[in-house]
Structure formats: C-alpha cells, structure tokens
Structure 1
Amino acid sequence: MFASLFALISGLPSMKLNLAALFPLLLLSTTLLFSSACLKDKTATSGTTSGETAADAVTREPNEQTAQTPITEEELEILRANFYRVNFDFNSAELGETAREVLAANAEILMRHNDVTVQIEGHSDHWGSDVYNLALGQRRADSVSRYLTNYGVPAAQLKVISYGEERPMVAEGNRSSEAPNRRAEFLVVTGATAAASSY
C-alpha cells in the first residue's frame, strides 16, 4: 500500500509536494492497514474466549460434556435393579444373541454413569470338578467383560471374579434344572462401596 502511494507521488514530478495535503492520505492508509490486521486476528480466534486458542476450546468441550454429578443412593438403587444377569449354555462361555442384547443394555447404563464400577461374577453349575468350574466361571466373566469393553465401556469400570459352583441359584439337580446356575451377574460398586446383592 505504501509502495503504491510512493509510486503515485513520484509519478508527479511537476507538482510541488505539499506535506499538509499528503498527511490525511497517509493517515487513511495507516488506518486501513491496521484494520485489516485486526480483522485477520479476530477471524482466527472467533468462537473462543479471551486468552484461549481454537484448539483449547475444542479440547475443553468434550470434558464439559462428559462431566457428571456423583450418583445418588436413590439413583444407585435404580441402577442396581436395571442390571440383568447373563445365562450360558452347558459347559460354554459363548455369548448367545439374548446375552448380547442384555449386555448392550448394561453397557449403555455404564457409559452414562462413568463413576460406577461393576464386578462381573462368573458362575457355573455343579457338573465337573471344583477347579474346572472355577475356570469356567472365569471364562464366562471374561467373556462378558470383553464384550462390554468392545462395546465402549472403559475397562476401569469393570472387575471380574469367578465363584464357579460356590454360589448356586438353584439346588443341585439335572443339567436342565441347573440352567440358572450357568450365569454371569453384576455387582454394582460405586467408589469403594459394594452393593448388598447382585442382579
């Protein structure tokens, strides 16, 4: 801009240079140049608060969205009632279609309440040795945990344990009658406090 002004002035050799006449023109040029620089700066930082960059605003927003108030005892009781157990076929740790549907619902609850931790308890019927059934219960709990983490639940919200055949829901009987014992249950924990019972 100043180069253009100089070229204009130097192109008029026959005219007497009048500094008083040039002063308003120089003042106008300086003002336009300053305004242009301010406009660029404002465009780069639009949408942010004073002293922060656009990147700061982006990184701050998700933290505000995921911030949650601590869960109340009343909410915790409702939450405990909404977790459902998962059943397994005889001698299996594979998740069936119904089990996956139940776990998807449980995962949604956990993802809405990131201050809640659950203990996944694997169980078995009495068929087989104690050692084998303890390992089978562990495989069942691990299978549930793996599904939930693949769904998007943070691993920090999950703990796994196996009770094998130690905590049956129904008394020993035949393979069909003991089907409820082949399960994984959820014990809801918040902070260091465990729920009184599992669901």
Structure 2
Amino acid sequence: MRFLAFLLFAAFVLFAIFARWFFICDILNLCEEPPVEVVAPPRLQNLQLTENDSVLLSGYDQFAFATGVDQPDLNANNEQFLDTIAQMMAADSTKSLEITGRYTLQEKDVMAGFYENMGLARAATIRDLMTARGVAEDRISLKHATTADSLLQEPLLFAFMQKDLPSEYATASYSFTNMTYSDANFPSNSAIFEPGEAFRNYADSVKVYMELHPEKSIRIVGHTDNVDTEKYNLKLGMRRAESAKEYLENLGITAVIKTESKGETEHVASNDTPEGRQENRRVNFIIE
C-alpha cells in the first residue's frame, strides 16, 4: 500500500510540474528559448591585392559579410588593409582600384538599395570606405561575381589597374549619377522595359533628385552584346534606351532626357561566354 501511495504521489508531482509548465509556457508564452549562439567560421588569411600577375599585398584577413547583408563586419586587420591601399594610391596617382564583390547562389535574388545584386552592393560599400580615406571615387571601379561557396569565405577581390592604360574593355559605372543596369530589366531580345526592384528604387531617388536640381538632364545609353549584326544591335540599344526613357517620363520626371545607343561597340566583358554577353547587354543612366 505504501509503495502504491508513493507512486500515486510521484505521478501527482510530475503532473503538477507539467501543468505548471504548460500554463506558463504554452498558454502565457512566458518561457524564452535560450539564445542559440551562432559561431562564425574563422576568417581565411589569404586576402590579396594584385596588379596584373603580381601580388602586392597578401596574408590579410578576408572580409566578413552576413548572408544577405552588404555591410561588412570589419576587424582591425581589414582596416589596416584598406589604409595600406589608400596610402599606395596616394603615392601613385596612375593607379586605380578594381573591387569585385561576390555573392552566393542563395543570394541571387537579394538586392540592396538600387544595386542589382548583393555583390555590387558589397563592392560599393567598400568603395565608400575607400573614398572616406581620401581616394577619389572615379579611381575606383566595381565588378560583381557569384560564388559557389555558401559560406562566402572570400567575398571580395582587390586589384590595381593603370588608370589611363588603354583597354579593350569599357568600364561599367555604378554610382548615383552614372548607374548601369543589366538586361535583367528586359525580356530576351526585347526592348520592353520591365524594371526590377533595384531600378525602381533608383528611379524613385532620381525623381526626387531631379526635382531638387531642375537644371540637370539625363542621358540614357543602350548597349548590347555582339550577337546579330552591328546595325541591328545599334537599333536594339536605342530601342531599349527609348523604352527606359518612357518609363522615367511616366514616373513623372520632367527633366530633359536624351537617348543614344552604343550597340555592341563598348563591351565591358568578353562576348565569348554567356556571363560576359549578359554584362554587355546593359543600359547606362547618366545625370548631367
């Protein structure tokens, strides 16, 4: 009898504990889950600054970006790396800096502000850090690339270029007054402008800017790859520029908007690959 009474008492205690937990946690929602500590992987120490085939700086910590975020988690070593580049550029005015921002395949549809992809947004953030160190913005060019590394352990590439050295490639611009958007805003082989979120954000900002600066005008330049004839591509580039102009006018922008086409003549990448051809199919918006 005593053993049975003990079992009944133990069962009552367990039931009371469960009932109390159920009332407080499940009904009143007063129980907090313990925070899960996310341990970031250690940074690789293989960041480099290159120039042609030469490595000018090496052994620095890689920058770190959280998924879907364009602002880096800077450490002292990152700051030292940027300081050193700024000092090198101050000592040699012929050098320009090319920053390539990478983004993972999982971040493909993630945008930041009016940049078309997270890679460009990350590169632009680093450009801002360089201009804060006294480097002129026109000495910095931006590029973007995807990476299959889901951990994004090497998010940035840095390379010196000779500022005035002739190149077979033009340079795409990614600043507010000289912005480039890819063919992602157009269906394949079409001039119908279907802007994505990044461009809509940009256009809204341009509208406000032009209202504050009525003396300014906008020039829209259409570019294509080298598929089809040069004559056809020249017309396609113009049709795309005109379609983009129509979108801005429908948005309510009353400033003078001029259009032109460079066709296939100013490619920013090789036309030998699908990725390069996509980079070359673009529209450039220039506030003058």
**TM-score using structure 1 length:** 0.49
Structure holding more strand per residue: 2
For the pair shown, the structure with the greater C-alpha radius of gyration is: 1
The TM-score, its normalising length taken from structure 2, stands at 0.35
